[in-house]
Amino acid sequence: MKRLVSHWIRRALLGAFFALSLVVYGCHSTFFLSPHSNQPLPGDSQLMKGRLMSEEAVVLEVFVVRCPQGDPDLNTALWNDVDELAFPAPLRREMLANGIRAGVIGNQLPPTFLRILKTRDDENPSEIVTTVRLGDLSDSQHLFRRMICSRNGQRNEVNVSDVRSQATIFFKENGALGGETFHQAQGVLALRTQTCGDGSVKLEIFPEVQYGQQRQTFEYDAGAFKMTAARPKRSFDTLHSELNLRPGQFVVMTGLPNVEGNVGSFFFLNEEGENGAEQKMFCVRVLQTQHNEMFTSDGGLPMDPNSLSEEGPSEPDGEEDASEE
């Protein structure tokens, strides 16, 4: 009997030792696959970079650019290279009625867009598109740049305007004219993303005015209620936009010049800029998602200007229609 008990004890100890070995080996394997390491595993493709992101993760790049009010590049020349038809016709009409103009730019950036960003001062008329390392741009007096890592259903906010002690905003909703006065008001664009499984991303943009003092409130975000400190907000639901974008594409939005008192002027015009009246341009682009099919063999994003070599921009794919980018 003692011999039998001793046999089972030895087997139990061996089993425990084997299980501990697996745990230790597994821990070391997890360490080498840590996303904190910038080097790929030996023999593995850099496509592993895509797998390190969550299935729901989307990296957004946001720009808010300040220009002189009435700038000809921003209000005229730029829109020759912007696809405004990416927004449905009823939404475009609603935006224009409220003083907002918006569209989509493809993964290669027009010279006019680069002049607005102040990355170049001249233009070659024969040059249709060009590319720039946007990651090298730093925040300056005229440009604000921000990276956002979003997950499906998560709400992200971008403050577009400064806080105004009092603002009266006139708007048009479903054909009806209206107006409201807000105290301590600020224009905010709320962003929400949803990965589509094919490399594209559904991006939603919600224009709203936040005003008054912060209050404790319950908010539904990403499938759960949570308590947050937030200011009251007035959302403009008829200006809510929803677009499907590929990595590298930009959404561009600005206000109509020389129009005061409406939603667009509140968000995108500033009469008290340091150099006089200013007009703002809001840009957001999908920079990266989890899906490996968007990566090239060297691990870079083909639609990300940051991944280009020093030799210059690559030639655009002739099979794609620029109007659909």
Average model confidence (pLDDT) for the chain?
Answer: 74
CB neighbour list of residue 186: distance below 8 Å, 6 or more residues apart: 159, 161, 162, 163, 164, 209, 210, 211
Residue 139: predicted pLDDT: 52
Task: Please report the beta strands in the chain, taking only residues with DSSP state E, as ranges in sequence order.
Answer: 58-68, 100-105, 143-150, 156-159, 164-173, 176-195, 201-210, 215-221, 224-230, 233-235, 241-245, 250-255, 269-273, 276-289
How many residues are present in the chain? 325
Query: Is the confidence at residue 57, as pLDDT, over 80?
Result: yes
Residue 142: predicted pLDDT: 81
Residue 199: predicted pLDDT: 83
Neighbouring C-alpha atoms within 13 Å toward the C-beta of 219: 15
Tell me the one-letter amino acid at 92.
R
Average pLDDT over residues 58-83: 92
Annotate 25-45 with three-state secondary structure: HHHHHHHHCCCCCCCCCCCCC
Query: Is the confidence at residue 22, as pLDDT, over 80?
Result: no
Residue 10: predicted pLDDT: 67
Span of 56-70, 90-104, 132-146, 298-312 with lowest mean pLDDT: 298-312
Span of 87-96, 152-161, 268-277 with lowest mean pLDDT: 268-277
Distance of CA 197 to the CA centre of its chain: 18
Residue 141: predicted pLDDT: 64
For the chain, give the percent of residues with pLDDT over 70: 63
- Strand partners for 201: 195, 245
Sequential DSSP letters for 79-91: GGSSBGGGS-HHH
Nearest CA to 214 out of 232, 234, 187 is that of 232
Query: Is the confidence at residue 32, as pLDDT, over 80?
Result: no
Among 24-38, 98-112, 209-223, which range has the highest average pLDDT? 98-112
CA angle, residues 234, 64, 142, in degrees to nearest 5: 130
- Say which residue, 216 or 254, is predicted with more confidence: 254
Measure the CA–CA gap between 191 and 207, rounded to whole angstroms: 9
Average pLDDT over residues 120-138: 50
Query: Is the confidence at residue 299, as pLDDT, over 70?
Result: no
Tens of pLDDT, residue by residue over 219-272, are 666 667 777 778 899 999 999 999 999 988 999 999 998 788 999 999 999 877
Tens of pLDDT, residue by residue over 166-207, are 999 999 998 889 999 999 999 999 999 999 878 899 999 999
Residue 54: predicted pLDDT: 77
Average pLDDT over residues 81-85: 95
What distances in angstroms separate CA 43 from CA 39, 46, 48, 295, one per listed residue? Answer: 11, 10, 11, 17
Tell me the one-letter amino acid at 213.
Q
Residue 138: predicted pLDDT: 52
Among 22-36, 97-111, 281-295, which range has the highest average pLDDT? 97-111
Residue 8: predicted pLDDT: 62
